Amino acid sequence: MDFFTLSSTFGLTINMDFWYWLMAQPPADIVLYIFTIVGWALLALVFFYMGAHFWAKYRGSLMESTWEWIVLAVDVPPLYIQTPKAVEQIFAHLSGAQVSIHVMDKYWTGKRQKSFSFEIISIEGYIQFLIRTEAGLRDLVEAAIYAQYPEAEITEVEDYVSMAPDKYPSDTHHMFGVEFQLQDADAYPIRTYTNFEYKISKDEVFSDPMAAILENFSRIGHGEHFWLQIILEPTGSGWKEKGIELIKSLIAGDAHGHGGGVHPFLHFLGDIPLSILKNIFTNINGTEFEPVEAHEEEHAGKISDMTPGEKSTIEAMEEKIAKIGFKTKMRALYVARNEVFDPGRCVDGFIGALNQFHIQSRNAIVPRMLTHTHFLFFNHSREIVIQNKFFKAFAKRKLKTGGNPYILNIEELATVWHFPLPFVKTPLIQKAGAKRGEPPINLPIEADAGPLRAKVKNVEPPPEAEAPKDDEPDELMYG
């Protein structure tokens, strides 16, 4: 049976005899026949894709098992005045950790992009700024911080997550976790620190957004912990290209541009049935088939046709795309002993503090998932699974566990995480006590630190050298 015939005038044409024969068969035979022709190929592709995915994950886990993670406590002098612009430069510095990963790197050597975790923790009201990084990137992190804060003190400490139980339910503790995401597409910006300036006199005054955030960390007391982590992974410019396409669609008047677009492959799959219908109607009726569509007046979109608010949004999106971006995941975790457990004491206020970054028609940081949910069936058991999964992702600083990561640029990151200015009067926040300098010899030191313990590596002392005998000359002699 010839499925295709050649025409000297029009080139390749379709012979419809096969389709007439196929449509005359029972429905079950049609499905079986089509699966016999193309089904095995689709199954082969699916199994190949799954095998490649699990193989890459296996090789990547082997590579990640060789990494050594460290936690650095960062303290800045209490009277050191630096705006969030300094922290923005720190994030720009850390973008140098981005590595290019080729196909062989991913599927053979298991090469992976290393990430950072910028954290704020409150242990019974004691507040500390932390950075978790891989040991090989410690020099990069310290150089980025010292370049902006020369008098900062950086100390390697033990990971604080060991202070809480790692399995729930626990006999002694309860936990409440929240994962956050962006409300809209990545290209839409949140409100940044440049918009927190106001004039109360002839001099501009900066209202530090960190004040509202840290206030919730100072609300907890004995037996309570409140931790925030912002996981960052350097990324390429693919998100910028998507942002440019979104901006073009908004200028063209696409009402669906706010939520992103459909993947081109899905458009291709959707065009296949339409192409078959067009060929069938063309061969049967001899006329070209055109689907009925609502024809609207087509016109090229112009900036001049947009409202002032729309123009401002486009400009803000362009400003976000112009800066370096990171894949981001934000989580907050409240852990407390059973007798004092009250997440409303700090979690509700923290979620409210994040609303100060919300701009209507642009973007916002909103809760995506809570560890306390209400299911219709098996509520308690499903809640336990979610809590343990959340705590494990928090402790391991997993970027891809939970919701998809999103993009925040360095200006947005510096808005959400930065060292507070001196006028932010948050009690019990750890700050460097004095300038760095060489201490006098034999100066007694009194430890005045918080609950975090400095991490000290056990180094074996070198073997004592034997004293040279009187009849043996010294090893190093100079004439």
pTM: 0.75
H helix runs in 322-443, sequence order: 347-354, 379-396, 410-416
**Up-side HSE of residue 15: CA atoms within 13 Å toward CB?**
10
pLDDT digits (tens, 9 = 90+) for 141-169: 999 999 999 999 999 999 999 999 999 99
CA quadruple 224, 156, 423, 197: dihedral sign: negative
194-198, 347-351, 445-449, 474-478 — which one is most confidently predicted on average?
Answer: 347-351
Q: Count Cβ atoms within 10 A of the Cβ of residue 417 and give its class: 0-12 exposed, 13-18 middle, 19 or more buried.
A: buried
The confidence band for 127, taking pLDDT boundaries of 50, 70 and 90, is very high
**DSSP label at residue 463:** P
- Is the bond preceding residue 169 a cis peptide, omega within 30 degrees? yes
Q: Are 214 and 220 in contact (CB under 8 A)?
A: no
pLDDT digits (tens, 9 = 90+) for 4-15: 454 545 556 667
C-alpha 84/C-alpha 209 separation (Å) is 10
Higher pLDDT, residue 428 or 421: 421
pLDDT tops 50 at residue 298: no
C-alpha 328/C-alpha 181 separation (Å) is 9
Q: Within 10 Å of residue 56's Cβ, how many Cβ atoms?
A: 16
pLDDT digits (tens, 9 = 90+) for 324-379: 999 999 999 999 999 999 999 999 999 999 999 999 889 999 999 888 776 666 77
Amino acid (1-letter code) at residue 416 = V
H helix runs in 199-300, sequence order: 210-217, 238-251, 264-285
Q: How far is CA 54 from the centre of its chain?
A: 22
CA quadruple 273, 275, 276, 282: dihedral sign: positive
Q: Count Cβ atoms within 10 A of the Cβ of residue 424 and give its class: 0-12 exposed, 13-18 middle, 19 or more buried.
A: middle
Q: Within 10 Å of residue 147's Cβ, how many Cβ atoms?
A: 12
**Up-side HSE of residue 225: CA atoms within 13 Å toward CB?**
21
Q: Are 233 and 113 in contact (CB under 8 A)?
A: yes
Q: Which two tokens stand for residue 414?
A: 């510096």
C-alpha 231/C-alpha 213 separation (Å) is 18
> Mean pLDDT score of the chain, rounded to an integer?
80
* Region 25-44 average pLDDT: 78
C-alpha 295/C-alpha 382 separation (Å) is 50
Which residues does residue 224 pair with via DSSP β-bridges, in sequence order?
Answer: 336
pLDDT digits (tens, 9 = 90+) for 190-206: 999 998 877 655 666 77
Q: How far is CA 216 from CA 74, 337, 426, in A?
A: 20, 18, 10
